[in-house]
A and B are shown apart, each in its own frame.
Chain A
């Protein structure tokens, strides 16, 4: 894969997260009935940053949960090599609260479909909202984000590479292009 264009650097990512944070606060009047859940893998760190910002601004004490959707994927029958099952840990009761699901990139919508099914197995939330940093279009299911850092029209031979400091050592988002031998 080769880099095409820098979509966001660390500063731009922070601005996007700050804006999403404010939108979440605006939309959810009762922050005592709000839960933030990050999706494996990079969504976890983005969710923690959003929760930290909400806690700073509103003096709340929101915890973040972690959701792995591997067991809910729709391509299990196709994939001979099974993806590794990762940790799911939701340390609060989701019954009756609003849950903000946080993921890095929204693409086909299949991962979110799986996440909705997975979340419902933990109870019956009042609502589920979706926050993503990049909405790259090309949906295959009727799913949309409530909060998006930026919307980007991408092509099938392109990828969005989102890196976070906590895991990758830097904050950056690049648009990549697949090469013939990828």
Chain B
């Protein structure tokens, strides 16, 4: 049993069997994390570079924990302390790191396509930890793992992803991955924050929140990326909250069992009211816990082999 992919660049085009294998393997790692000694020796001697060109707290910590739980040797590289600030190109950076004998690279970059570019200039296994407005595959995998754990299946469930779809690589990875798994996905946000060519995602988009929430088993709120907004995409934060925020009042119209998810960090009181984020329907902290198990599964499945 093995993945058909050699790198994890995104979920677009990844098969149902591959996604299922990653989620099944993550279930096993979930058990490992509950042991007295939550460390297994599997990746002993494997060096993994965490190459973060863009800020991140939970994704970087989650990957680093996953690597340590598998006994790999992580090396952290972040842009502020690197030679990038001295003008080195990405290709030179990766070639230099590779010359130090590494096995895998976990990369986050603000330009879409960087993970793919790296596969062209190194033999190491590349894992995308978020590239520009493109994909964030491990986030979508941990979202699907969380839903599967809570509801017991993925097939046939309806998921509403609400918020700043345009700037969200999480929405993109989820749209592709969830569609592959037989789920119904609706993307919802202000017209100005929806993708210009939604047909490439293959799922419906709407700016009508009630329509999106109708019959949803899962509602995923996205962070309003205040730092990425060019002016004028929506009139005011207050209006955004009124039309697209989820509060107790709106929650009360939904199924009692609906799962509330958020990839974090939350703008409390904007896209998600505090009492909903901390309420009984919220699985936001489970998502974070599952992140470690999913990343362990990906590292395990991609990390083997003589050249791996």
Contacts and interface: CB of A to CB of B under 8 A. Distances in A.
A16 B28 CA distance: 33
Contacts of A117: 41
A86 interface: yes
A162 B110 CA distance: 55
Interface stretch (B151-159, B192-200, B299-307): B299-307
- Give 9 nearest A-B pairs by CB, closest first: A80-B305, A81-B2, A85-B28, A71-B40, A121-B37, A84-B1, A71-B42, A82-B304, A85-B25
A10 interface: no
B32 interface: yes
A89 interface: yes
A interface, size bucket: 20 to 34
A10 to B, nearest CB: 30
A71 B35 contact: no
B1 A82 contact: yes
Contact of A82 (B2, B32, B41): B2
B132 to A, nearest CB: 30
A118 B246 CA distance: 45
Contacts of B29: 85
Contacts of B45: 77
Contacts of A156: none
A76 B1 contact: no
Contacts of A78: 305-306
A122 B34 CA distance: 10
A91 to B, nearest CB: 12
B304 A76 contact: yes
Interface string A101-137: 0000000000000000110011100000000000000
A50 to B, nearest CB: 24
Contacts of A87: 28, 31
A72 interface: yes
B24 interface: yes
A123 B36 contact: yes
Nearest to B37: A121
Interface residues of B, number: 27
5 contacts: A80-B2, A80-B305, A80-B306, A80-B308, A122-B37
A99 B270 CA distance: 55
Nearest to A79: B304
Interface of A: 68, 71-73, 76-89, 117-118, 121-123
Given A77-B304, A79-B305, A85-B29, A72 B36 contact: no
B266 interface: no
Contacts of A68: 28
Contact of A121 (B40, B70, B303, B306): B40
Nearest to A73: B42
Contacts of B303: 76
Nearest to A95: B36
B117 to A, nearest CB: 24
B133 interface: no
B106 to A, nearest CB: 18
B94 interface: no
Given A72-B41, A79-B305, A85-B29, 7 more contacts: A71-B42, A72-B42, A78-B306, A80-B304, A84-B1, A84-B24, A121-B36
B273 interface: no
A71 B32 contact: yes
Contacts of B28: 68, 85-88
Highest count of chain A CB atoms <10 Å: which of B40, B45, B297? B40
B251 interface: no
